[in-house]
């Protein structure tokens, strides 16, 4: 296997017990300690957190208690030799976020979302990361006429500015997704994320996270999204997984649905130098619901294996031959070159 310079990361939610909208968990819910140990054994160096992964039942606790628990978690991570890669406010569970968080039509609820996210910045600081991931789950509409995209954009800028002002070091990494749970999201693509960054008080501290499945749900090639974001130096994290077409968010193991698309993502990372500033490769993947207890970790182990194999493919790609075919505009044979390289023939 190729030696990689990449650092890998997952979140506690990636050890999911199999619950979906149609049925209950099918595997035992594992403790945080179990997940931390498993992550380490799998050779992952980082862990992603939602604010309430870091501090459970967060809304029932005082600010002081929240910070004390975050500090205790940092000690536990240090002891385990694991880095907190990012923290993300979970703005889609609370009763105050039913109609959206930063873009709710209710000003009190918008304030709740801002206050909760400011607290997430404080947790991030305690955990030693400057990345606040914003997956804006409910910032969109089910009904076009219920909101205004222009006003929503203003609300989002107001919220981002409040966070940038609250913490002078924090970097906001927007994780766009075009739909689900919303019909239409207000920041559906990497282009939207990077465009809204320019409207904020400190554009340099607003960037993005690409998730393969989210790009695919937008009808984009995630490799192109990676190169686009990297050309702005704004790709600060990455959630690799896979997705079979325009369906529900599947979070399949990396490469599971389309190996060539996965290969091109790895190649895009290599071409752009992603990871050279310490950025992590995270796998936002879930076990298939059918996964038995004893195979609980295979989706993580396999995603990493596939990544490392594809790294080797990216590093042994016949660049000269490809360049010759490109110069000759012989894309027909370029296509076959890629296929045969991937097939190993």
CB-based contact 90:51 (threshold 8 Å) = yes
Find which of Mg ion, ligand XLS, none residue 138 binds, CB within 5 to 8 Å per kind.
Answer: none
Q: Which residue in the set 15, 135, 186, 283 belongs to the binding site for ligand XLS (CB under 6 A)?
A: 135
Active site residue 53: yes
Q: Is 27 in the site for ligand XLS (CB under 6 A)?
A: no
Using the rule CB under 6 A, is 10 a contact of ligand XLS?
no
Contact 46, 280 (CB under 8 A): yes
Does 211 sit near Mg ion (CB under 5 A)? yes
Selected binder of ligand XLS within 239, 252, 267, 304 (CB under 6 A): 239
Question: Given candidates 69, 85, 225, 249, which one binds ligand XLS under the rule CB under 6 A?
Answer: 249
Does residue 242 touch ligand XLS according to CB under 6 A?
Answer: no
Other CB atoms within 10 A of residue 139 CB: 25
Give the one residue of 88, 235, 281, 297 binding ligand XLS; rule: CB under 6 A: 88
User: Nearest CA to 304 among 343, 232, 269, 255?
Assistant: 255
CA distance 106 to 100: 9
**Element (DSSP H or E) covering residue 206:** strand 206-211
Among 9, 39, 133, 187, binds ligand XLS (CB under 6 A): 133
CB 15 within 8 A of CB 296: yes
Binding of ligand XLS by 286 (CB under 6 A): no
**Closer of 174 and 223 to ligand XLS (Cβ):** 174
254-293: which residues touch Mg ion (CB under 5 A)?
284
Q: Looking at beta carbons only, is 88 or 164 nearer to ligand XLS?
A: 88
Residue 220 among the catalytic residues: no
> What's the rounded Cα separation, in Å, for the pair 317 and 6?
19
Taking the C-alpha atoms of residue 158 and residue 271, their distance in angstroms, rounded to an integer, is: 36
Smallest gap from Cβ 325 to ligand XLS, in A, equals 37
Q: What is the 3-state secondary structure (H, E, C) of 89-156?
A: CCCCCCHHHCCCCCCCCCHHHHHHHHHHHHHHHHHHHHHCCCEEEECCCCCEECCHHHCCHHHHHHHH
* Cα–Cα distance, 153 to 55 (Å, whole number): 30
CB 156 within 8 A of CB 195: no
Is 227 near ligand XLS (CB under 6 A)?
no
How many residues form the binding site for ligand XLS (CB under 6 A)?
A: 10
In whole angstroms, the minimum distance from the beta carbon of 76 to Mg ion comes to: 23
Answer yes or no whether residue 239 interacts with Mg ion by CB under 5 A: yes
177 binds ligand XLS (CB under 6 A): yes
Nearest to 160 by CA among 194, 126, 185, 127: 194
User: Does position 175 bind ligand XLS by CB under 6 A?
Assistant: yes
- The binding site for Mg ion (CB under 5 A) comprises 211, 239, 284
Residue numbers annotated as active site: 50, 53
- The binding site for ligand XLS (CB under 6 A) comprises 50, 88, 133, 135, 175, 177, 211, 239, 249, 284
């Amino acid at each position: 296997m190729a030696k990689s310079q990449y650092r890998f990361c997952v979140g506690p939610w990636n050890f999911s017990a199999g619950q979906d909208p149609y049925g209950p968990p099918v595997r035992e819910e594992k403790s945080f300690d179990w997940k931390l140990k498993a992550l380490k054994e799998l050779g992952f160096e980082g862990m992603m957190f939602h604010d309430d992964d870091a501090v459970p039942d967060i809304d029932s606790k005082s600010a002081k208690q929240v910070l004390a628990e975050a500090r205790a978690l940092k000690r536990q991570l240090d002891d385990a030799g694991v880095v907190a890669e990012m923290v993300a406010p979970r703005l889609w569970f609370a009763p105050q976020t039913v109609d959206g968080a930063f873009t709710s039509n209710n000003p009190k609820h918008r304030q709740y979302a801002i206050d909760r996210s400011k607290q997430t910045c404080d947790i991030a600081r305690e955990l030693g990361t400057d990345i606040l991931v914003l997956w804006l789950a409910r910032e969109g509409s089910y009904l076009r006429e219920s909101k205004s995209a222009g006003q929503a954009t203003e609300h989002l800028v107001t919220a981002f500015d409040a966070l940038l002002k609250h913490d002078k070091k924090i970097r906001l990494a927007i994780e766009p997704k075009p739909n689900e749970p919303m019909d239409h999201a207000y920041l559906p693509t990497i282009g939207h994320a990077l465009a809204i960054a320019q409207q904020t008080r400190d554009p340099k501290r607003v960037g993005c996270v690409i998730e393969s499945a989210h790009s695919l749900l937008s009808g984009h090639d995630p490799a192109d999204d990676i190169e686009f974001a990297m050309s702005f130096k704004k790709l600060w994290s990455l959630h690799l997984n896979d997705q079979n077409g325009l369906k529900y968010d599947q979070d399949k193991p990396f490469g599971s649905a389309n190996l060539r698309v996965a290969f091109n993502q790895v190649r895009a990372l290599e071409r752009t130098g992603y990871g050279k500033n310490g950025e992590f490769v995270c796998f936002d993947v879930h076990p298939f619901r059918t996964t038995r207890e004893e195979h609980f970790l295979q989706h993580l182990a396999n995603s990493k294996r596939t990544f490392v194999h594809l790294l080797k493919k990216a590093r042994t790609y016949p660049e000269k031959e490809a360049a010759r075919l490109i110069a000759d505009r012989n894309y027909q044979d370029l296509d076959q070159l890629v296929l045969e390289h991937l097939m190993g023939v």
